[in-house]
Amino acid sequence: MNTGRKLAITFAAVATMGMAATSALADKMYGPGVTDDSIKLGNTMPYSGPAAAYGQIGKSTAAYFDKINKENGGVNGRKIEFISLDDGYSPPKTKEQVRKLVEQDEVLLIFESLGTPTNSAIHNYMNKKKIPQLFVATGATKWGDPENFPWTMGWQPSYQTEGALFGAYIMENVKDPKVAILYQNDDYGKDYVHGLKEYLGDKADSVIVAEESYEVTDPTINSQMIKLKDSGANVFFNVTTPKFAAQAIKKFRELNWDAVFLNNSVSNSVGSVYKPAGLDNSKGIISLMYYMDITDPGNFETEGYKKWSKFMDEYYPDGDKTSAFTAYGYLVGQTMEQVLKQAGDNLTRENIMKEAANLDLELDMMLPGIKIQTGPNDFFPIEAMMPVEFNGEKFNSLGKVVSVN
**Site residues (vs other proteins, CB under 8 A):** 50, 53, 185, 212-220, 222-224, 226-227, 230, 242-243, 246-247, 254-256, 271-273, 275-276
Q: How far apart are CB 258 and other proteins at their closest, in Å?
A: 12
For residue 299, the 8-state DSSP code is G
Core vs surface per residue 362-382: b (16+ CB within 10 A) or e: ebebbbeebebbbeeeebbbb
Which residue number, 8 or 216, has a Cβ lying nearer to other proteins? 216
Q: Which is nearer to other proteins, 227 or 394 (CB)?
A: 227
Least Å from the CB of residue 61 to other proteins: 22
Which residue number, 156 or 269, has a Cβ lying nearer to other proteins? 269
**Sign of the dihedral through C-alpha 86, 90, 94, 100:** negative
To the nearest whole angstrom, how small is the minimum distance from the Cβ of residue 92 to other proteins? 17
Helices 159-173, 187-200: axis angle to 10 degrees equals: 40
- To other proteins, the closest distance from the beta carbon of 229 in angstroms equals 9
Encode 31-59: b = buried (16+ Cβ within 10 Å), e = exposed. bebbeeeebbbbbbbbbeeebeebbbbbb
For the bound state, the minimum distance from the C-beta of residue 138 to other proteins, rounded and expressed in Å, comes to 18
Our CB check for other proteins shows the closer of 89 and 311 to be 89
Closer to other proteins by Cβ: residue 285 or 353: 285
Which H or E run contains 263?
Answer: strand 260-263
Comparing CA positions, the residue from 325, 333, 250 lying closest to residue 285 is: 250
**Which residue, 223 or 302, has its beta carbon nearer to other proteins?**
223
Whole-number minimum distance, CB 174 to other proteins, in Å? Answer: 24
Check: CB of residue 293 under 8 Å from CB of residue 267.
Answer: no
